[in-house]
Amino acid sequence: MTDRQTVDAKGCAAMLRASSRVVALTGAGISTSAGVPDFRGPEGLYITGKYDPEATFEFSGFLRDPAPFFAFTRDVLGLVGDLRPTFTHRFLADLEARGTLRTVVTQNIDPLHQKAGSKNVIPVHGGYWTSHCVACGGLFSLGQLTALLDRDEVPKCSCGGVVKPDVVLFGEPVHAMDEAIAAVGEADLMLVLGSSLSVYPAGWLPEAARCPVVVVNLGPVDLSPGPDRLFAEAELDGFFREVALELEKSEH
């Protein structure tokens, strides 16, 4: 069995310096320091019990009764206006601006990568910026959804159908998976940041990599060791502040 290889900030910086087609896969751990709750961490949504997972996050539960999902949605949208990108969000946006990072594939439904300035973002679990009527397929903006939520417990289209945000619930197909697989396949370095890799199919993406994979996460990760897989159990912002300092040194 291959031993699990570790990497420190200096080693990660050296790998970034040697790469020009980096892809990042980000999970909930990149956004927790911005105030976004994760699902599976010690203070995660599944642990605290504030929301019933099946009723709130599964598509079958949504079809039975969408009210629990919209209670969660009100909480999320209440946070969004005050959210600020973390250091790691901004670090990835800077890597993209420099031409080093090609794509961010994110499992998150928050807009923090876009707020930080990342342009090429593939949100495989969707997000709240658009919604569709489940009956007629009508398109709604975030502003229109918010107005409907202010008026009714469950937002409805003029046709009477429920207006569902384009957030992927468990049991629904993910978005743009082919694009994400292609981006990973073309990379010369893959960063996996703040993800336990336990939600599929996004958790499978490192298996598609034909390049070294650097995993930075607090807690267990569902990825077996391998010759080109390096792991750091670290808090993201602290780790990438050190990486940024190492990269700065090499520029002077």
Kindly report the pTM of this predicted structure: 0.88
Q: Is the dihedral of CA 118, 124, 127, 131 positive or negative?
A: positive
For residues 99 and 41, the answer to whether their CB atoms sit within 8 Å is: no
Q: What is the pLDDT of residue 193?
A: 98
Q: Which of 89, 113, 125, 252 is catalytic?
A: 125
Q: What is the pLDDT of residue 205?
A: 97
Q: What is the pLDDT of residues 81-116, one digit of tens each?
A: 678 999 999 999 999 999 999 999 999 988 899 999
Domain 42-82+127-167, CATH class in plain words: alpha beta
Domains 1-36+85-125+174-252 and 42-82+127-167 share a fold: no
Q: Is 36 helix (H, G, I), strand (E, B) or coil?
A: coil
Out of 1.10.340.30, 3.50.50.60, 3.40.1190.20, 3.40.50.1220, the CATH code matching 1-36+85-125+174-252 is 3.40.50.1220
Q: Where are the domains of the chain?
A: 1-36+85-125+174-252, 42-82+127-167
Q: What is the pLDDT of residue 8?
A: 97
Structure tokens at 42: 């010690």
Question: Can 125 be counted among the known catalytic residues?
Answer: yes
Residues in the chain, pLDDT under 70: 1-2, 37-50, 79-81, 252
Q: What is the pLDDT of residue 146?
A: 92
Q: What is the pLDDT of residue 185?
A: 97
**Buried-state track 33-46, b at ≥16 Cβ within 10 A, e below 16:** bbebbbbbbeeebe
